[in-house]
Amino acid sequence: MRAPVAHSALGSEVQGQVLGLGGDGRYFGKEAAQQIIKLAAGNGFKKVVVGRDAIMATPAMSAMIRRRKLYGGLIMSASHNPGGPDNDFGIKFNYKGGEPAPESITDKIYGETQKVAVLNMADLPDIDLAKVGGAKVAGRALGRLGVTQFGEFEVEVVDEVEDYLAVLQEVFDFPALRAFISRPDFKLVFDAMHAVTGPYANRILVKELGAPSSSVMNGVPSPTFNGGHPDPNLTYAEELVKIMFSPDAPDFGAASDGDGDRNMILGNNFFITPSDSVAMIAANASAIPYFRSGLKGVARSMPTSAALDRVAKQQGLPFFETPTGWKFFGNLMDAGKCSVCGEESFGTGGDHIREKDGIFAVLSWLSILAAKNKDTAPGSKLVGVREVALEHWKTYGRNFFSRYDYEEVSSEDAAKVMDTVRAVVAASPKGTKFGEFEVDFADDFEYTDPIDGSKASKQGLRFVFTDGSRIIFRLSGTGSSGATIRLYIEQYSADAAKLEEDAQKALGPIIKIALELSQLKQLTGREQPTVIT
């Protein structure tokens, strides 16, 4: 039945292995899944485990790989980018530990794409991906329940939530969460943004934890994300933001992105930055059973604010600053050096899996609120998201932080901006003054992995000032058209009178300096960023 095995990026390593498969439900996912199954059979895999309707959130894939000890998994997604016939589609490979494949593998895969001449596809009929526990293909023998057999090759259609839920139940106290969420004086809303987390939120928040079904909005995955941009931030999750900043807002709000690995956390008329979120989860980790024996260490990406650093220092925890990219956290976790980590780009995670995890962040915050309100009598004022944040800032101070995204900038103009900033970095030795800010150092961030010794260079142009304030510039090219310039601005304050000040007001002077030194407005013609976080 199988075609001869062709040379591939992973060679004979794939022979007889089991591959996971799923995606975020975007356009072309089901069609691509059928082709991938045929290619897997034609290239020596013995089995494919695919999520129902080809659905599988990125953190759920990591959980399934680890729990079932799969060889790896293919995730059909373009993360938080729009979907549809005219928008983005992508495929990511996660390896044996559930982590994004290392560059040693992705470089080989890219190399194969430059020379591939033959696709070895097995002659198989399409699989019924809609039915778990009873996939049917006319004229073919069915093996074990839910497993379709074609000679030695098998396809198993699985519930996309089961393995992931089992892992989360090992991390969190589900009975305690259910008791808190069922309080008549507590209301929550979760926005799945017509993306992959709809089935997960309905199963976990509603069925397992007892939230009303009305708590989940936009909960049915759409191939085009209902025409929206499934990026959980204050701009693209506008519908949720309006609800949470209304006079009768729920106590807790959250959103997740296209493939379920990012998150946004909101309180009643209150926004938690991703940088603060990971710091506050780490500071309150004892509320989560999985972490009650203590954190092994914490880590953040370089552009993420230093709020986590302050928690690590006060609690005596090992701390790591890495380039952007979850693979760097995975190395630390595999070495037993990191329990909680995060990125300012709305990614938060723990070492229960090897991906950032949107639902994990949501359940972490609900666990913190449940612990804070353990002794709050019915009818008394609940400790909310705002109160958790204020308590944290009074203890550690506040790292005011904002990110400006300039999307779909022409590659030429983006390069001009980065070249301009690079020249200013080179001309800014220690002691250089920018208004009231004095340079401690300015550089292009480099990282040597403490586990495997690998080096990553040119990871972001940064100005670090003597008071701890920072200005950072990075380019991102993950969208379908043009580049995105990301500007990160941070300033620390321990002044109790300023802890609730609006971040844009507090950061006004340093934002002005960043725009001036980069000549961003002049070089791009952009008066305002596309997204402000």
Residue-level pLDDT at 419 = 97
Mean pLDDT (whole number) for 453-465:
94
Per-residue confidence band for 236, with pLDDT thresholds at 50, 70 and 90: very high
Dihedral sign for Cα 243, 249, 250, 255, please.
Answer: positive
Residue-level pLDDT at 243 = 98
Mean pLDDT (whole number) for 422-440:
97
Per-residue confidence band for 362, with pLDDT thresholds at 50, 70 and 90: very high
Per-residue pLDDT for 17 more than 70?
Answer: yes
Per-residue confidence band for 319, with pLDDT thresholds at 50, 70 and 90: very high
Q: Is 52 helix (H, G, I), strand (E, B) or coil?
A: strand
What six digits make up the tokens of 19? 């591959």
**Do residues 21 and 36 touch, judged by C-beta distance below 8 A?**
yes
Residue-level pLDDT at 481 = 64
Of all residues in the chain, the percent with pLDDT exceeding 90 is: 86
Could you tell me the end-to-end alpha-carbon distance of the chain, in angstroms, rounded to an integer? 53
Per-residue confidence band for 488, with pLDDT thresholds at 50, 70 and 90: very high
Domains of the chain: which residue ranges?
18-159, 164-396, 398-532
Mean pLDDT (whole number) for 85-105:
92
Per-residue confidence band for 146, with pLDDT thresholds at 50, 70 and 90: low
pTM confidence score: 0.93
Per-residue pLDDT for 139 more than 80?
Answer: no
Residue-level pLDDT at 491 = 96
Q: What is the rounded CA–CA span in Å between residue 356 and residue 351?
A: 9
Same CATH fold assignment for domains 18-159 and 398-532: no
What six digits make up the tokens of 220? 């049915």
For the chain, what is the mean pLDDT?
93
Assess if CATH 1.10.3720.10 describes domain 398-532.
no
DSSP state of 288: S
Query: What is the CATH number assigned to the segment(s) 164-396?
Result: 3.40.120.10
What are the pLDDT digits (tens) for 504-514?
999 999 999 99
Mean pLDDT (whole number) for 437-448:
96
Residue-level pLDDT at 523 = 96
Residue-level pLDDT at 7 = 55
Residue-level pLDDT at 144 = 56
Mean pLDDT (whole number) for 430-445:
96
**Do residues 324 and 383 touch, judged by C-beta distance below 8 A?**
no
Read off the amino acid at residue 462: R
Mapping DSSP onto H, E and C, the string for 164-185 reads HHHHHHHHCCHHHHHHHHCCCC
What are the pLDDT digits (tens) for 409-419?
998 999 999 99
Per-residue pLDDT for 190 more than 70?
Answer: yes
Per-residue pLDDT for 6 more than 60?
Answer: no
Q: Which distant-in-sequence residues (6+ apart) come within 8 Å of 359 by Cβ?
A: 57, 59, 164, 168, 197, 200, 201, 204, 256, 260, 263
Residue-level pLDDT at 296 = 98
Read off the amino acid at residue 41: A
Q: What is the rounded CA–CA span in Å between residue 81 and residue 259?
A: 10
Mean pLDDT (whole number) for 225-252:
96
Only one residue has tokens 């690079």, namely 422
Per-residue confidence band for 379, with pLDDT thresholds at 50, 70 and 90: confident
Q: Other CB atoms closer than 10 Å to residue 354's CB: what's the count?
A: 26
Interhelix angle 307-315/385-396, rounded to 10 degrees, is 70
Residue-level pLDDT at 136 = 45
Q: Within 13 Å of residue 145, how many CA atoms lie on the same side as its CB?
A: 3
Per-residue pLDDT for 340 more than 70?
Answer: yes
Identify the residue with better confidence: 5 or 399.
Answer: 399
Domain 18-159 class in CATH: alpha beta
Residues with catalytic roles: 79
Cα 322 to its chain centre, rounded Å, is: 15
